[in-house]
Chains A and B, each alone.
Chain A
């Protein structure tokens, strides 16, 4: 009852000094807005990143690519050789491997259908890619092992390709030219959207690996392969064995660098972890610093307010306020003000984050963590900022304060 009256009275006092309260709110508003914005954007990007990583690697997978250096084509990718035979040997020797899928890529393949032309990424894969890459078809059917064995001229096209070449028409069963080679469209790939690199994954064509190698690109090596391991605990050991077999088959002497790259879901998870640390530690730290600055502003304004309201404090003591009532009043005033600023900051920062995310086509999320953190931090800032002014107010001697 009494506490309730005190809080109400503090709120009224706050409303009496609108300009000062406004400035105090501004500090925590800016800090919390920055915090909410950064964390929400971070969470959105993280969700997108993790989604892509999960799709690329799954829980227990290994990606082998030609060339040393970095993932998906290092500096010597052209000179490197990685063959279907390499992978077949690995799959035979290592019982931990459940299934694998080879990959050859032609980034700018020319597609034509009657008068319509477009450019897309051509990917040569096996019938097992549907399972290994977890991407099937929304209509039509995936090509089968026989199609791969017989280098059939069948193609699965992404939604963007279908739209460019066929408009509103049904592409199934129709013929398209990839380069100068005619293919029959047998399926539409599941929608993927934009990946972390900003690439439209629906502007793709998937054909049997053998057809891509022999009829379109005229190469006898593959770019990469993805291997699924039966048990996540086998990933590390299998990776070691994959490297050993490849080095043996490529006749690499000790000390010579790998001419291939092996990336596992574990390694990627570590990398994602590093990125997350930036999002969730350093960036909020920056926002926290601005909150700190806001707290300092609130504290000094409150201190000035105590000095200005000495007579009021004396009067309150005279009519029966205990020192702790005075302390509570100033703490509540500061905390409620900064909390008010914090709530506004959450609204502004959250709205900004959602706006940016939707502009980048990321499908934003409002981080619940950010909201909770914003509320807690702005309250704590207020309490800390109010501590010294409240203490000074409580220590005033009533007789001195009234003089």
Chain B
């Protein structure tokens, strides 16, 4: 599904100094995988995430998504891919303030060409167990509930790829367990999930762990996921 070949990304600091965030990264992710990308801060995890999510373009190498080279897509076509085929979950939730949970979840539908959108938002909230919080604003929800709203938003257009960037970073252990449980359920239902984390315990839930160091893939382990850990957290 995802095929990175020799991907590099260099940033220019305001001081003029160049920072090589990604250096010759090659990675292949198959449909249905649950991959953890781990590494210390500054190892290039977030840069890799941005490139996988088409929020940023590599300046070296190529990225094929379902065989399509994303470099060939226009800005608008990329927006369409993000809208239809990728769902994002962020550490900081990024919910719109003063806006109900339902409206937040329906945000991606605003930019979709689908004409039949009634009930999709409600169904997505139902899937994360928040049917009774539809009209609540983010300020009225706990951190774990906010992140579940964010997951519902990521799912509302039924994408096949879910990108989660430190989704439990701002949560207590209990809420973190819930979120991981939801992600695992989604993965079992066939969705491809890429989880960026610096937390080895979280990564242990995943079937595969790729370790980044200084912008390079230092390790890539395929293993059997520790499924029970998620159950404990619930």
Are A323 and B75 touching (Cβ within 8 A)? yes
Query: Hey, which chain B residues are within 8 Å of A5, CB to CB?
Result: 109-110
Partner of A322, one of B79, B98, B107: B79
Determine whether the beta carbon of A399 is less than 8 Å from that of B111.
no
Q: Find out whether the CB atom of A322 lies under 8 angstroms from the CB atom of B111.
A: yes
A45-53, A189-197, A313-321: which lies at the interface: A313-321
B188 to chain A: which residues have CB within 8 Å?
Answer: none
A399 and B96: CB pair below 8 A? no
A311 beta carbon closer than 8 Å to chain B: yes
How many Å lie between the Cα of A317 and that of B50 in the bound state? 12
Q: Which of B83-91, B171-179, B193-201, B215-223 contacts A (4 or more CB under 8 A)?
A: B83-91
A1-20 vs B, Cβ < 8 Å mask (1 yes, 0 no)? 11001100100100010000
B107 adjacent to A319 (CB under 8 Å):
yes
* B15 contacts the other chain (CB 8 A): no
Q: Mark B103-118, 1 if CB is under 8 A from A, else 0.
A: 1000111111101000
B66 within 8 A of A: no
Q: What does the 1/0 interface line of A310-352 toward B look like (CB < 8 Å)?
A: 0110111111111111000000000000000000000000000
Within A151-171, the residues touching B (CB, 8 Å) are none
The answer, yes or no, to whether B8 is at the interface (CB within 8 Å) is: no
Q: Are B55 and A399 in contact (CB under 8 A)?
A: yes
- Is A187 engaged at the interface, CB distance under 8 Å to the other chain? no
CB distance from A401 to the nearest CB of B (A): 9
Residue interface mask A45-68, B partner, CB < 8 A = 1: 000000000000000000000000
How distant is the Cα of A33 from the Cα of B120 in the complex, in angstroms?
A: 44
Given contacts A319-B153, A399-B56, contact A6 B110 (CB under 8 A): yes
| Other-chain residue from A315, A322, A399 in contact with B75 (beta carbon distance below 8 A) | A322
Task: Bits for B38-77, please: 1 = Cβ < 8 Å to A, else 0.
Answer: 0000000000001001011000000000000000000110
CB < 8 Å: which of A2, A9, A324, A402 contacts B90?
A402
Residue in A closest to B47 when the chains form the complex, CB atoms: A399
CA distance A349 to B178 in the complex (A): 58
- Decide if A399 touches B50 in the complex (CB within 8 Å): yes
Q: Tell whether B142 is near chain A: CB-to-CB under 8 Å.
A: no
| CB atoms of B110 and A312 under 8 A apart | no
In the assembled complex, how far is the CB of residue B153 from the closest CB belonging to chain A, in whole angstroms?
7
- Would A318 and B82 be within 8 Å (CB), given that A311-B94, A402-B90 are in contact? yes
Does A397 count as interface, using CB distance less than 8 angstroms?
yes
Q: Could you say which residues of chain B place their CB within 8 Å of the CB of A364?
A: none
**Closest approach, in angstroms, between the C-beta of B162 and any C-beta of chain A?**
13
Q: Which residues of chain B have C-beta atoms less than 8 A from A1's C-beta? A: 115
Q: Answer whether residue A389 sits at the interface, using C-beta atoms and an 8 A cutoff.
A: no
Please determine whether A322 and B110 come into contact, CB atoms closer than 8 angstroms.
no
B55 touches A320 (CB 8 A): no
Give chain B residues whose Cβ lies under 8 Å from the Cβ of A320: 79-80, 82-84, 108, 111-112, 157
Contacts known (A399-B50, A402-B94); A319 close to B108, Cβ less than 8 A: yes
- Report yes or no: A397 in contact with B56, Cβ–Cβ below 8 A: yes
B139 within 8 A of A: no
| Interchain CA distance A315-B165 in the complex, whole Å | 13
Are B55 and A317 in contact, with the CB atoms below 8 A?
Answer: yes
Asked if A124 is an interface residue, CB under 8 A from chain B, the answer is no
Given contacts A12-B103, A311-B94, A323-B75, contact A318 B110 (CB under 8 A): no
Judge whether B99 is part of the interface by a CB distance below 8 angstroms: yes
Q: For the complex, is A382 an interface residue (Cβ under 8 Å from B)?
A: no
A16 touching B79 in the complex, CB below 8 Å, given contacts A319-B107, A320-B112, A325-B111? no
Q: Shortest distance in angstroms between B41's beta carbon and chain A's nearest beta carbon?
A: 13
Please provide the chain B residues from 133 to 159 with a CB less than 8 Å away from any CB of chain A in the complex.
153, 157
Closest B residue to A1 by beta carbon equals B115
Is A398's beta carbon under 8 Å from chain B? yes
Alpha-carbon separation in the docked complex, A6 to B107 (Å): 10
Partner of A16, one of B84, B94, B99, B153: B99
Chain A residues near B111: list those with CB within 8 A: 2, 316, 319-322, 325
Please name all residues of chain B whose beta carbon is closer than 8 Å to the beta carbon of A319 when the two chains form the complex: 82-83, 88, 107-108, 111, 153
CA distance A12 to B115 in the complex (A): 20
11 additional contacts, CB 8 Å, given A16-B97, A315-B96, A320-B80?
A: A1-B115, A2-B111, A315-B94, A318-B53, A320-B79, A320-B83, A320-B112, A320-B157, A325-B79, A398-B55, A399-B55
Q: List 26 A-B contacts (CB under 8 A).
A: A2-B111, A2-B112, A5-B110, A6-B110, A12-B99, A12-B103, A16-B96, A16-B98, A311-B94, A312-B94, A314-B94, A315-B96, A317-B82, A318-B55, A318-B94, A319-B82, A319-B111, A320-B79, A320-B80, A320-B83, A320-B84, A320-B108, A321-B111, A325-B111, A398-B55, A399-B56
Q: Which chain A residues have a beta carbon within 8 Å of chain B's beta carbons?
A: 1-2, 5-6, 9, 12, 16, 311-312, 314-325, 397-399, 402
Q: Shortest 5 CB-CB distances between A and B: which pairs?
A: A320-B83, A320-B111, A319-B108, A399-B56, A399-B50
